[in-house]
Amino acid sequence: MIQRAMGSVRVNRYSIVSTEEDGHKVSALGSVNGHSRNGKGHAPRRKHRNRFVKKNGQCNVYFANLSNKSQRYMADIFTTCVDTRWRYMLMIFSAAFLASWLFFGFLFWCIAFFHGDLNAPVVGGGPSLLKPCIMHVNSFLGAFLFSVETQTTIGYGFRCVTEECPLAIMAVVVQSIVGCVIDSFMIGTIMAKMARPKKRAQTLLFSHHAVISVRDGKLCLMWRVGNLRRSHIVEAHVRAQLIKPYMTEEGEYLPLDQRDLNVGYDVGLDRIFLVSPIIIVHEIDEESPLYGIGKEELETENFEIVVILEGMVEATAMTTQARSSYLASEILWGHRFEPVVFEEKNHYKVDYSRFHKTYEVAGTPCCSARELQESKMTILPSPPPPSAFCYENELALVSQDEDEDDDEVGVVLGGSTKEEGGVIQMMDFGSHLDLERLQATLPLDTISYRRESAI
């Protein structure tokens, strides 16, 4: 009897899921060899779904048949340049300066050509009798070098414009203004491209999987977020949306219907202090799109949950946004996240090697939140007793005593220690009734339960 009671809890108690492939295996546990658990028939297969938002935050959307696309992009040339890749940006940067130098070099060559500076008569091998517009410009190459020296303000002192041609003086003034405009635009674009908060989002981390388990007596959808930098995200807040096809009552088909998932907007729980990794919780209640979805329904659902983390970068005060998504196959039913924050002697340690890991929780109901709510009086478990031990407590103790020998460590459960004859694994008790039923199967203390006359 004891072995039966204990064996039902030992199976897959602390299974770890750390890769996407393992997540698919766990989510497919509802059917074995093509049959459902009750053996009634084949379980329907989940349709393949393209991601709307990729795991790295990029939106998987392609725009086609845009009218006047080039004109619209050129109207906002600064944003276009900031969004352009670096290699194209450097090409534009170099081409702008080269085009400016060539244009004004050609203009100076034309001024010198029509003024006759290129074919000026020379008497006795001495200097020309005609005063040139630009000194020492006798070819197009000389005019190009003068253009480069003028725009970059190098000023070697060898070539210079004279007061002979007002047109040449005007061209020098215009080129100086154009050069300042190009410099300002290019420097501003490069600075904005380097300092944009999009790069900051690469150090904001989302867990590979989301989980559904019971928290405070209610089914909740949970995922974890973390910040890899020591600098903070100011005014950080989270949002989540469920995206799935939807058919209206009038028969209109919406391929990407978006519905909000409440993560605590009304009570301010959506605003987080992201110093250490935090688990975001969505309570599956009557207003949740997941209210009627149980474990079996989750295995065949075709939806995507987009999660968004927004805040201001502490260094630049610019708003940044990090995104990720979870398909239905990436949601693990009956799992919890492993703890990553441990208290040490003088500080708190965050172990990011456990960030994506989960463990399975025995006794998680497989029904939907609606069914759980309707049968709340008989199915909903009561709060666990204070003596009930859980995996987080065990892991915290192991972290504190990691220097000690594992064979000498005893795990305390409800004030009793492990005995040599039978090892009692730590478990989560679903209710007081389960605890009493388990206690009835355990051997009683012979001294404590003797008759009064014997005592």
- pLDDT tens-place string over residues 89-143: 889 889 999 999 999 999 999 998 888 877 755 544 555 567 888 888 888 998 9
Tell me how far apart the alpha carbons of residues 248 and 254 are, in angstroms, rounded to a whole number. Answer: 8
CA 49: distance to chain centroid? 20
Q: Identify the residue with better confidence: 32 or 173.
A: 173
pLDDT in tens, 47-94: 667 889 888 888 888 888 888 888 888 888 888 888 888 899 889 889
Q: What is the mean pLDDT of the chain?
A: 75
User: Does 366 score more than 50 pLDDT?
Assistant: yes
Place of tokens 């998932």: 261
Where does 151-229 show beta strands of DSSP type E?
204-206, 210-215, 218-227
Contact 356, 339 (CB under 8 A): no
pLDDT at 138: 85
Q: How confident is the model at residue 398 (pLDDT cuts 50, 70, 90)?
A: low
pLDDT at 249: 87
Q: Identify the residue with better confidence: 443 or 352.
A: 352
pLDDT at 11: 35
3-state DSSP call for residue 59? strand
pLDDT at 196: 77
User: Does 439 score more than 70 pLDDT?
Assistant: no
CA 425: distance to chain centroid? 37
Over residues 204-224, the mean pLDDT reads 92
Element (H, E) at 322: strand 319-327
Give me the long-range contacts of 443-447 (CB less than 8 A, separation at least 24): 443/2
Q: How confident is the model at residue 362 (pLDDT cuts 50, 70, 90)?
A: confident
pLDDT at 44: 53
Q: Identify the residue with better confidence: 435 or 232.
A: 232
Over residues 204-209, the mean pLDDT reads 92
At 194, the amino acid letter reads: M
Give 218: exposed, middle or buried? Use CB within 10 Å, 0-12, 13-18, 19+.
middle
- Other CB atoms within a 10 A radius of the CB of residue 132 amount to 21
pLDDT at 445: 41
